[in-house]
Structures are given as structure tokens and as C-alpha cells.
Structure 1
Amino acid sequence: MPEKIEAPLKEEIALLEPFKGVSPNNIIVPTTKEQSTKAVADLFRHRFVGFDTESKPIFVQGQKSDGPHVIQLATLEKTYIFQLHYPESLKCITQLLETTQIIKVGFGLKSDRAQLHRKLGITPKAILDLDSFFRDEGYRKDLGVKTAIAVVLHQRFRKSKKISTSNWAREQLTPEQLSYAANDAYAAIKVFHALNKPESAFPIVDLT
């Protein structure tokens, strides 16, 4: 049996150059029918897009989350932040997540799929969880986005716990929230493209 691959240590990752994230000019929050239609048309031009969700955190034991509240889809050029309290965003997200024409790429997506099924009654299709890919490659544990960025791009990806546990259900997200959400999805698609492998090399779920 081949020896498992160890991920780089936190101390090693800390020495790497910082990851260059999404420019604020390339983060788009569709709120109208026209903006949403334009976003969908752009995303359908791509076979693979970065994917992630954000939910308002739960601090009371036993309370269930009513998230996700935000869904992010990213290309190498643009990152779209869909807030689900906008009716047009809700329509678009259902269309985008149920299509098999677009493969949604991310990390640790099992919980995201379960939440989306519970909240929206849909099962996202054409899902590529890069954690599964790296396990197949021989890594001992799930890498997650921070370690994958270090392994593949040799860069340091920073995530703020303060922002990750902020209120994602608010009507208007802060610039810090938009940046955090956008870069989670953008980092996933950056890793995917840097791997430079054919579609058949990846464990894509519900492609048909």
C-alpha cells in the first residue's frame, strides 16, 4: 500500500507568499432580474466554476441553522455573490445548481449540499469536492482550501474567523464579508485550473 502524503505544516505555510485574491471590482452581487440574468449567462459560458456557501452562525445549543444565506460562484474573471433573500437570486441559484452543464468546484461540500437540500429542496448536481480528489491522490487528511492553495499554488491563503462567524443573513453584506465569500469560491477554481488535469481525472458527483 503506498505511503500517505503529509500536508505541509502551518509553520511552513506561514512562510509562503500571500494569495492574491479577487479584486473588489470583480465581485458582483446581483440584486435585480437584469443583473441576475447577466450573471447566469456568464456562468453558463464556463464548464467549471468555484463554489461555496455561507450561513449565519448558530450560537445556541440545539438550534438549527436556516442557512445557507449566501452562495458564491466564481470564474477566473468574476465572482458572483448570490444573497438568497433576493427572489431573483433564489431563482438563478436553483437553475445553476441543478444543471449538469456547469461543474461546481469547492472544498468540504458535503454539508453545503445537505443544507441546500434542506433549505431549497434541491440536490446540487455536477459537484466536484477537491478534498475527495486530494484523498485519491494520497493525502492523509482532507486538505481544505488553505492547505490546497499552499500545495498547488505555493501561496498562503488567509481566512478571518471573525468574518467567517459574522451575520451572513444581513440584508447588505460588508466589504469584508464580500471579500471573504468571494475568495473562498475563487480559490477553489484557481486550484482546479492550476492542477491542469482532464475532467475524467476528477471525482465529479451527479454529473448525469
Structure 2
Amino acid sequence: MSAVPIYDWCPGALPYYITSALAADAIIARYLEHYVGHVGFDLEWKPTFARGARENPVALVQIATATDVFLFHLSAMSTVPASLMRFLQNSSIIKVGVGIQNDVKKLYNDYRLSVLSCVDLSMFARSVDNPSWNGPFKNPIGLARLVSTYLGSALSKGSITRSNWEAFPLSLAQKRYAANDAHAGYAVYSHLRALDRERETPIKQSYYSFHAILGRLYHIPIPNPEQVSSSHNDIWGLSATSRLVEWFPRNPEYDPDPPPPSKAPKTSDEQAESPKDTSAEPPNKFSPFRGKGTYKRRRNKPRSASLLV
């Protein structure tokens, strides 16, 4: 049996590593100022190991296109580049990632940056695989699992995840890890979009897309969708006078079947004929529960792989 290949965004290539606002302005003007489409988006920050300690600010912003990855090392800069702010606030460019809701909220809390046109890949994957799914969205699907399911590769993790992202300069291992994470998001979204186009009725963007404005998540309702252009920028309708509506991770058009009728209470004769309920009896010596607060661990059988578990 052949081993699963490790995801590598571009074997032998290195991402652009940007450590100053001046360099960021030059890179964005050359590669991203007129970019059209979606980008992989991710953040990294120095972990906090002390319980109850405040989180460190975002240290690194990763942006990936099909051919390039850009690492903006904010902790090495004296200020957030104005060009990067404009890029993140460009509603015509879709920023995709896993757990992106928390990331964009943190970016606002740390630097007062709003990010428009965001896509949560976990939400998109659930909607594509199960259109009738409806939250609450409590268990997001991790990026490694999405990469394994849709791309057939293994996304390398490990201790590098919890490394010091404020270190200057970043190590080669950190750069590769950050680049693969951002580019994997780009690739997964590309695959999901292809699957969505094959559907008779594509999933509505409002199920998995949102704006992060001033630290809160919104979508913009469209009164007459059939009269709107197909471009993503027009779909968001930022130039319209429509009212901002708070966005939640759910399928608003989910229509569940009616619940089954409640059972009638048992009569006294039926209760007498029912088998004895032993759930309230004290545990015996063969029970896995051996007294209050003590539990005998059992080895669980591995679950079969399923994306929507």
C-alpha cells in the first residue's frame, strides 16, 4: 500500500517573505493589486502557554494564489501596510480558510482591520456534501481533514504549529508550514467550487460567505438576485443601500421533517408488564463504573472515516 503524499504547495519553491511595509506595498502593487479570484488566507501568532494569559497579537498574515504565497510578518513591521489593509477590504477578492470567523475577529481586535468576502471552508464543505445540513455549527472540520478528503494528501502538522511566530526571521520550516497551510485552503476551495458547479442548484454563498466588519460578521441580502451580476463583487452589493444583517453559520433554508408524534403515557398495567429498569441499580463488580467518580477506561474501536461526522 502506497503512502499518502505530503501536501507541498510547490516543491522546491519558497514563498515571498515580507518584513517591512515598504516591501509589502511593492509586492502587492506587483502581484495582488489587480488580482481577480480567491486566495487562501491564514494567520499565525505566538502561542501563550500560561493559563489565563492574554493571547499575543497576530504575527503573520498568509495569502496564497494558485502560483504564489505571500507571508506578511506583521510582528517585524512598525505598522500594518496600507496596501495590505486595502487588499483585505477588497470585496472582489474572496479570502478562504478554516475557522476564518475567529481569525478575522482577532485581526480586528489586534489591528482594527476589517476583512470583506470571507469563506469558511468547513461550512462550504458541509453544504456541498449535505445541502440539507443546518447548524448549530459546533464542530468545524479541520484543514488537514479537508485536504485528506478532497485532495488525497496529508497536511503536515506537528510542533511547528506552536512555534514562536514572532521570531525574526522566521525559520525555513516555519515558512514552509505557513505557505502550505494557506495554499491548501486555496486548493480545497477550488475543488469545492468545481463540485458545487456540478450541482443542479449551487449552494448559496450566504450559507458559507460573510463580511467581517468592525469585528462582527454580516451578510447582505439581495432583494432581486436574478437581476444581479454574476461577479462576486456585485453579489455582495456593497454599493447598494441594503441593510447589513448579522451572519451565522447555518443553512437558513433548511426545512426539516416534522417531528414524530409524542408517545402516550403507559398505563399502570403496561408499566407492570414492562421489563425492570436496572439503570438506577448500583454497579456490580463487572460494571465499568466502580464507585463514584471512578471509571474503567475501555479501548474504543476506531471510527470509519467520514467527513460529516
Q: Distance in 2 between matches of 1:18 and 1:116?
A: 30
Q: How many angstroms does 1:91 deviate by?
A: 2.6
The partner residue of 2:116 within 89, 113, 125 is: 125
AA partner of residue 83 (structure 1): H
AA partner of residue 18 (structure 1): I
Q: Secondary structure at the match of 2:124?
A: helix
Q: Is the 8 A contact 1:56 1:168 kept in 2?
A: yes
Q: Is the 8 A contact 2:45 2:59 kept in 1?
A: yes
Tell which deviates more after alignment, 123-132 or 35-44: 35-44
Q: Secondary structure at the match of 1:69?
A: strand
Determine if the alignment matches structure 1 residue 52 to structure 2 residue 42: yes
Q: How many angstroms does 1:184 deviate by?
A: 0.6
* Structure having greater relative contact order (Cα 8 Å, sep ≥ 6): 1
Per the alignment, residue 179 of structure 1 pairs with: 176
Q: Secondary structure at the match of 1:17?
A: coil
Per the alignment, residue 43 of structure 1 pairs with: 32
Q: Normalization by structure 1: what TM-score?
A: 0.82
Determine if the alignment matches structure 1 residue 83 to structure 2 residue 73: yes
Tell which deviates more after alignment, 72-81 or 150-159: 150-159
Distance 1:117 1:175, change over 3 A: same
Q: 1:53-84: CA deviations, max 9, x gaps?
A: 00100011111113211000000111000011
Per the alignment, residue 96 of structure 2 pairs with: 105
Q: Is the 8 A contact 2:25 2:81 kept in 1?
A: no
* Sequence identity (%): 25
Q: Cα RMSD (Å) of the superposition?
A: 2.4
Per the alignment, residue 114 of structure 1 pairs with: 105
AA partner of residue 116 (structure 2): K
Q: Distance in 2 between matches of 1:109 and 1:58?
A: 20
Q: 1:84-127: CA deviations, max 9, x gaps?
A: 13246533332221221211011111221121011111221110
Q: How many angstroms does 1:193 deviate by?
A: 1.3
Q: Distance in 2 between matches of 1:144 and 1:152?
A: 12
Q: Distance in 2 between matches of 1:148 and 1:109?
A: 15
Per the alignment, residue 205 of structure 1 pairs with: 210
AA partner of residue 97 (structure 2): G
Determine if the alignment matches structure 1 residue 154 to structure 2 residue 152: yes
Per the alignment, residue 145 of structure 1 pairs with: 143
Q: Secondary structure at the match of 1:205?
A: strand
Q: Secondary structure at the match of 1:72?
A: strand
AA partner of residue 83 (structure 2): C
Q: Is the 8 A contact 2:21 2:77 kept in 1?
A: no
Q: Distance in 2 between matches of 1:200 and 1:114?
A: 25
AA partner of residue 158 (structure 1): S
Determine if the alignment matches structure 1 residue 30 to structure 2 residue 18: yes
Per the alignment, residue 6 of structure 1 pairs with: none
Q: Distance in 2 between matches of 1:89 and 1:56?
A: 17
The partner residue of 1:73 within 63, 68, 72 is: 63
Q: Is the 8 A contact 1:51 1:105 kept in 2?
A: yes
Q: Distance in 2 between matches of 1:100 and 1:24?
A: 33
Q: Is the 8 A contact 1:43 1:75 kept in 2?
A: no
Q: Is the 8 A contact 1:22 1:179 kept in 2?
A: no
Tell which deviates more after alignment, 92-101 or 132-141: 132-141
AA partner of residue 148 (structure 1): L
Q: Distance in 1 between matches of 2:53 and 2:37?
A: 37
Q: Secondary structure at the match of 1:29?
A: strand
Tell which deviates more after alignment, 19-28 or 47-56: 19-28
Q: Normalization by structure 2: what TM-score?
A: 0.57
Q: Is the 8 A contact 2:24 2:84 kept in 1?
A: no
AA partner of residue 71 (structure 2): I
Tell which deviates more after alignment, 16-25 or 70-79: 16-25
The alignment covers a number of residue pairs equal to 194
Q: 1:2-56: CA deviations, max 9, x gaps?
A: xxxxxxxxxxxx9533223334534001235553234323224132000000010
Q: Distance in 2 between matches of 1:117 and 1:124?
A: 8
AA partner of residue 89 (structure 2): E
